[in-house]
Amino acid sequence: MTDTWPVVAPAPGTPTCGPPSFASERGWWVTRHADVLAALTDPAFQVPSVDSGPPGTLAWLRATVSRFSPPERHAERRAVAAVALATVDPDELRDDAAQLTGAVLDRAGDRVDVMRDLARPVPLRALADRLGFADPAAAGTAVAVVAAAYHPGVDPALTARADHAVAALLALAPPALPEVLANLIGLLVQTCDATAGLIGAAAHHLLPPGGAPTAARTADLLAEVLRLDPPVRATRRVTVVGVRLGGRDLPEGSPVLLRFDAANRDPLVFPEPAAFRPGRPGAGLLTFGAGERGCPGDRHALALATGVFDALRGRCRRGPNPLRHEPHPTLRVPTSLEVSIR
C-alpha cells in the first residue's frame, strides 16, 4: 500500500519567505529560515521584558519563569527547568499519555472531542504527575486557565482568574523554593497550548476519514506537522542594539516577530516545501526555537504528543466537520475536533 499524504496549505496570514520587512503598525517581520535562526542565536535580539507583580500572581509567574527572564537571570532559571525534566523519562511520559488516552477512548462511546477530552488534559495530567504535583487532573485544569492569560496584554478578567489558578498550582506543587515552583508551573504552561495544537493538527491532517492505517513512524509524521502547521507560529524579540539582519538595518529597540510558520517552508532549506514528506533528511525545523532560549522540553512535548496520537491513530477516524482555530496572534490551536472511535 502506498500512503497518500495530505496537502497542508499555509495557515491564513502566513507570510512568504523574503527579506525582513517593516510596517509601522506591527514592527519587523522575519520570515526566511537563515534570518530567523540568526535572530534566535544573536544576543542583539532579546525577549521583551515583562512587569512583575505580587508573589503568587500571574505577573509574578511571568517575571520569574525562564521564558521571559532577562539575560542575566535566564541561564539559572532555565537550569531549574532542565533539572526537573531530567527526572522525567520521555518514554515513560509517552506511555502515560497513551494509557490515559486509551482510558478516555474506552469510556467515550462512539465519538470523542480530541481538543476538549485529550489534547489539553492528557499531556498536562501526565506531566504534572511526573513533576510531583498533587492531584494532576486539578493541576491540569488550573494550568489551562493560566495559559489562557499567560501572554501580556490579555483581558483583565482572564488575569484575575489566572491569579487564582496560580495560587491553586502553588498549593498543589511539591515543596520547593518559589523560583523553582514558578519554573515547574512554567513547564506545564508551555506544554498546554503548544502540545494541544500539535495533537489537534496531527489528528486533523493525519487521521483519515476511513481510518486507513499507515506504516510511517509517528515521530516522522509529527515532525512534518510541526513544520507545515506549527502550533507556535512565531515568537517575539526586541533589538537591544542596532543590528543588520538579512540585508536590513534594524534600529535599537525594534520589535521583531520571528515567523516560524514561514521559515519552516523556506525552499532553500526544505526542497518542495509544501509537500508532506515524513522522514525528511536533515535538521532545520525551527518550531521549538534554537539557541540558548530553545525549548528545553522538546523531547518531552513530542513524547506526550506521540502517546496521544499513537492511541488515536490506532482506534479513531476523523469526521467531516471543518476545523476552526482559537483566535491568537502567535498560536494555532483548534477549538474542537470530533473523531469517531472504531
Which residues, 6 or more positions from 322, have their beta carbon under 8 angstroms from its beta carbon? none
| Backbone φ and ψ of 250, nearest 5° | -105, 120
- DSSP class of residue 270 equals S
Residue by residue, DSSP assigns 170-237 as HHHSPS--HHHHHHHHHHHHHHHHHHHHHHHHHHHHHS-TT-----S-HHHHHHHHHHHS-SB-EEEE
Query: Residues, the chain, total?
Result: 342
Residue pLDDT tens, the chain, 342 long: 456 787 889 999 999 999 999 999 999 999 999 999 999 999 999 999 999 999 999 999 999 999 999 999 999 999 999 999 999 999 999 999 999 999 999 999 899 999 999 999 999 999 999 999 999 999 999 999 999 999 877 788 899 999 999 999 999 999 999 999 999 999 999 999 999 999 999 999 999 775 445 678 999 999 999 999 999 999 999 999 999 999 999 999 999 999 999 999 999 999 999 999 998 876 789 999 999 999 999 999 999 999 999 999 989 998 888 899 999 989 999 999 999 998
pTM: 0.95
Residue 313's nearest CA partner among 178, 214, 225, 245 is 214
SS3 255: strand
Residue 341's nearest CA partner among 120, 114, 126 is 114
SS3 159: helix
| Rounded Cα distance, 257 and 330, in Å | 9
Beta bridge partners of 325: 334
Beta bridge partners of 232: 331
| Rounded Cα distance, 36 and 264, in Å | 10
Cell representation of residue 111: 465519538
- Is the separation of the CB atoms in 102 and 311 below 8 Å? yes
Q: List, in order of start, the domains of the chain with CATH numbers.
A: 21-341 (1.10.630.10)
Between strands 234-239 and 45-46, the pairing is antiparallel
Residue 264's nearest CA partner among 220, 305, 225 is 225
Number of helices (H), then strands (E), belonging to the chain: the values are 12, 10
